[in-house]
Amino acid sequence: MSENKTFTVDGRNIEFQDGDTIMDAALRAKVYIPHLCHNPEFEPHGSCRVCIVAVNGRHVAACTQPAAQGLEVDNASQAIMDQRRTLLQMLFVEGNHVCPGCEKSGACQLQALAYYTGMLAPHFAHFSPQRKVDASHSEMVIDFNRCILCELCVRASRDLDKKNVFAIGGRGISSRLVINSPSGRLGDTDFAAEDKAAQICPVGAILPKHRGYDKPIGERLYDQKTIDVVDDVAVHRKERDERG
């Protein structure tokens, strides 16, 4: 009988299987590694870098780094948490994230991670971009000011919905979410409120119409539990089912 394969996260032994990433094995063991672009339903992406950890002294993204026997993973040191705070600070200033006025407040992963890491001020100068809001669709609205380019909607539409409604255009600071229709408007696509891509946005960029603030503040996801004890996939599926 072969021995279990393990590595450590902050001194705790974590079992892993062939093909696992550090993130896969840690989440299975109920060890939380902060993340935004990661979702177990899709191939690892590594775009947000919030899941940065130190592995034997080298900084890597936990969602793409293969698990291996004997790795020593630092997930919670001051240095690692400082880097995560800096990444979150940059995300907040690259868009217009006004949490008190956002429908997603209390159920936003970006906001919840800011609280989790102790990021209570953006630190950097705000870019204050003027991005459009696309309300052309009968059921959904997109506020491009809040998009963090995690590509979850891109992957969901392509891999699960089989529609390819979304894509990322531009490069560097000019990167942006684009709509795959001749007009560039969501209302001119076959996007539907039942699509996986309509349910998966971790911030307040893609929202249903006619249902604003239907769950009171104080009763939302991260009002009830901090993000480190929430199972993201189960929670978002539950929220979708509640919305009908």
Q: How does the average pLDDT of the chain come out, rounded?
A: 90
When pLDDT is averaged across residues 21-46 and rounded to a whole number, the result is: 92
Does pLDDT of 54 surpass 70? yes
Distance CA 170, CA 168 (A): 7
Quote the pLDDT of residue 212: 81
Backbone angles phi, psi at 198, to 5 degrees: -80, -15
Residue keyed to tokens 């204050």: 128
Tell me the pLDDT tens digit for each residue of 82-131.
Answer: 999 999 999 999 988 989 889 999 999 999 999 999 998 888 988 888 88
Q: Is the pLDDT reported for residue 236 higher than 60?
A: no
123, 89 Cβ separation under 8 angstroms: yes
Return the pLDDT at 235. 41
- Judging by DSSP bridges, how do beta strands 12-15 and 133-134 pair with one another? unpaired
Taking only the tens place, the pLDDT of each residue in 169-194 is 998 888 999 999 999 999 999 999 99
Walk me through the domains of the chain, giving residue ranges and CATH numbers. 6-76 (3.10.20.740), 81-210 (3.30.70.20)
Q: Is the pTM of this model over 0.85?
A: yes
b/e per residue 60-77 (b: at least 16 CB within 10 A): bbbbbbebeeebebbbee
Judge whether residue 208 has pLDDT over 70: yes
Average pLDDT on 153-160 reads 96
